[in-house]
Every structure is written in C-alpha cells, then in structure tokens.
C-alpha cells in the first residue's frame, strides 16, 4: 500500500515549497489530431501548416490549450488529487509556442495557504510554470484549489493569501518573435473581422451547441495525463456521474468561439477563470463572449482583445443572479487576452 501515491493533503503544503512534477510528455502530431477530434477547432493558424508558415512561424504552433492542459495535467498528482474544488486561475501568460516534438514538464511553487473555518479543508495557491525541452518557459499561471485535510486536528498554517493582479497588463503580453501578420489571409481564416471591428462591451453569441459524452471527456483528460479519479470512476461520486474536467469545457467553448472570433488565433494570457458549476455527460454546451478590453502590442499588425468567454449548459443569458452568484447553467467564466490582426 505504501508504494501508492495517495496525493498530498492540505497540511502537507508549506508556503515556498517547490514541487517538480513528474512525467515529462512529448507532444506531437498525434495529439493535434486527438485535439481536433475532441473539439473541432477551426483556427487557421493551428489547422494549416501553410497558414502558420505565411505568418512567420518556422514550425506550426500547437493549440495554446494543448500547452495549458499538458502543463496543468502534470500538477494533478501533486496538487489536486485530494482537491474538493478547483477555485480559480489568474496571472496566466503564454511565454513561447509549443511545437510538435517539444517535451513539456512543469513545476509548481506553493504561494499561499489558508485553512477554511470548518477545519476540514483549506485553500492552496500555486504558481505553476511549464517548460519545453528543459528550460524554455512556455506558460506561467496561478491557480487555487480547495484541498482536504488528512487529519482535521492538524494545526492550521499561518494564513498567506497572495495578491494577484486582476488582469495581465497588455504590456506584458508575449507576442511570438518573428510573428508577421502582413500576409494574413482573412478568406482562409474564415472570418472577416479584425481587431478594429470589435468594440469594448460587445457580446458575441457563438450560436452552436455540443452535447457532451463520457468517452470524449475521458479521452481528453487522459491525453493530458490528468489522473483525478472523479473524471473516470462512476463510484467516486455519490450521484454516480463522472465529473467532467474543467479544461474540457474551456477547450469546447474556445472551439465554439471560432464562430465570431475566428481571427483570435492565439491566447496570450489567462487573466482569470472560474469553473462556475460542474458539467456532466448529457449537458449541451453553448458559449458567448464579451469584449472586455482592447490593446495594441509592440508588434505591428498584432492587436490584443481581452475577452470573457462564458460556457453555459442552457441558452446564452445572464452570468450571475441577483445574489451575485453564478447562475446554475453557467459552467465557465474565463477572462483571457487573445492576439488578433489589426
């Protein structure tokens, strides 16, 4: 028994502790095809090697969310195996683009701890960094999770709550070197609207819906070597349902957002994110976006849109009730920066 990893509990963490996560993973074209099958993305930059080449990429970039899920997945055995809830994301920046053949690893530092008043759980803040092929940074983000205590009598740590920036400043967005959108082909991209066409406050309903199934989210979750048992084992929850990995909803909503945001080719930053309610097989996902902000970048032709991407399991509608809480049909509220031709 002792050889099996049961995961860490709240009292096992210390502020400043660094965890080198296991299982480096080489990503390749096979992962790209799986991702295509699972979500159906149509962003031309990841779909066509020719399109990528025309825009200054030596090798085609993988979807940014492949990077995100891979880096995230490595943290699960050390961070969230005993998590009750994944509470939020912040300060996420993509620092270079991952290509087929890159080997990804990740590390996390514990940057905050706060025991809950019930004494049974606590909140753990971690800053996770993903690297390609050794030491090339690819992603840096914070997430916080509620983690069970092994022993309710274990003493509470001194509370440390990190101050997180509400958004990544536009000046800090990483634009890939050599990116040149002068030759951008809007017909091939399938969307006429460019940076200048979007207005702050504008809402875009992405129209389409997808009804979720269990085999698909399990195949996705395994692709990222995410081992949280609630995603796989129907006996792990009282309701007998598998809980769908929140990243599955992010990817599905992002793919749906092509319809209206087809030129938002790259994700530059994740400002904030919440999985507002759990998703299960049978739910039909829809998505809408709100333009929260706009910014220019130092790279000519490349603009940034700050977008709120909301996934719901009903029709597009309000986000929060009168009590300020997310409505029950809201699954995801993700605030991110995308790069788009000006």
**Nearest CB to a copy of itself, comparing residues 44 and 268:** 44
Of 244, 204, 198, 196, the residue nearest 221 (C-alpha): 244
Least CB distance from residue 247 to a copy of itself, whole Å?
14
**Nearest CB to a copy of itself, comparing residues 175 and 236:** 236
Provide CB contacts within 8 A for 119, sequence distance 6+: 149, 152, 156
**Nearest CB to a copy of itself, comparing residues 23 and 151:** 23
189 vs 11, 75, 84, 160, 331, CA distance in Å? 50, 34, 41, 46, 28
DSSP classification of residue 36: H
Of 209, 229, 205, 213, the residue nearest 38 (C-alpha): 213
Structure-token pair, residue 221: 């979750």
**Nearest CB to a copy of itself, comparing residues 209 and 278:** 209
Least CB distance from residue 191 to a copy of itself, whole Å?
8
Least CB distance from residue 332 to a copy of itself, whole Å?
18
**Nearest CB to a copy of itself, comparing residues 115 and 257:** 257
- Indicate the SS3 state at residue 284: strand
**Nearest CB to a copy of itself, comparing residues 6 and 159:** 6
**Nearest CB to a copy of itself, comparing residues 11 and 31:** 31
Least CB distance from residue 10 to a copy of itself, whole Å?
20
**Is the CB of residue 148 less than 8 Å from the CB of residue 120?**
yes
Structure-token pair, residue 320: 């929060």
Least CB distance from residue 282 to a copy of itself, whole Å?
8
Least CB distance from residue 291 to a copy of itself, whole Å?
10
36 vs 39, 63, 265, 281, CA distance in Å? 6, 10, 15, 19
Least CB distance from residue 145 to a copy of itself, whole Å?
19
**Nearest CB to a copy of itself, comparing residues 92 and 262:** 262
In 10 A of CB 288, how many CB atoms? 22
Question: What are the b/e assignments for 156-171, b being 16+ CB within 10 Å?
Answer: ebeeeeeebeebbebe
274 vs 14, 73, 265, 311, CA distance in Å? 24, 17, 22, 11
The C-alpha atoms of residue 310 and residue 334 are separated, in whole angstroms, by: 6
Least CB distance from residue 48 to a copy of itself, whole Å?
4
């Amino acid at each position: 028994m002792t050889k099996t990893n049961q995961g860490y509990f709240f009292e096992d963490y210390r502020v400043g502790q660094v965890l080198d996560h296991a299982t480096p993973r080489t990503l390749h074209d096979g992962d790209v095809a799986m991702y295509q099958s699972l979500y159906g993305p149509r962003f031309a930059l990841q779909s066509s090697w020719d399109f990528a080449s025309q825009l200054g990429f030596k090798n085609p970039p993988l979807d940014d969310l492949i990077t995100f899920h891979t880096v995230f997945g490595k943290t699960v055995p050390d961070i969230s195996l005993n998590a009750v809830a994944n509470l939020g994301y912040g300060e996420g920046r993509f620092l270079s683009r991952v290509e087929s053949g890159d080997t990804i690893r990740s590390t996390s530092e514990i940057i905050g701890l706060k025991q809950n008043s019930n004494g049974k759980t606590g909140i753990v803040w971690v800053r996770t960094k993903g690297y390609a092929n050794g030491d090339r940074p690819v992603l840096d983000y914070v997430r916080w999770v509620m983690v069970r205590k092994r022993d309710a009598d274990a003493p509470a740590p001194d509370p440390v709550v990190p101050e997180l920036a509400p958004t990544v400043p536009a000046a800090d967005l990483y634009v890939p070197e050599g990116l040149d959108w002068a030759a951008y082909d809007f017909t091939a991209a399938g969307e006429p609207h460019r940076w200048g066409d979007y207005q702050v406050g504008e809402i875009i309903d992405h129209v389409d819906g997808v009804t979720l199934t269990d085999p698909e989210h399990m195949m996705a979750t395994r692709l990222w070597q995410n081992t949280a048992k609630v995603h796989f084992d129907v006996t792990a929850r009282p309701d007998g349902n598998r809980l769908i990995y929140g990243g599955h909803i992010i990817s599905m909503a992002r793919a749906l957002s092509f319809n209206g945001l087809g030129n938002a080719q790259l994700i530059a930053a994740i400002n904030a994110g919440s999985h507002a309610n759990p998703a299960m097989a049978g739910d039909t996902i829809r998505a809408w976006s709100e333009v929260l902000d706009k910014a220019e970048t130092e790279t000519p032709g490349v603009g940034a849109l700050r977008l709120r991407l909301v996934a719901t399991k009903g029709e597009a509608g309000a986000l929060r009730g009168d009590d300020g809480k997310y409505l029950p049909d809201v699954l995801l509220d993700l605030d991110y920066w995308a790069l788009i031709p000006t």
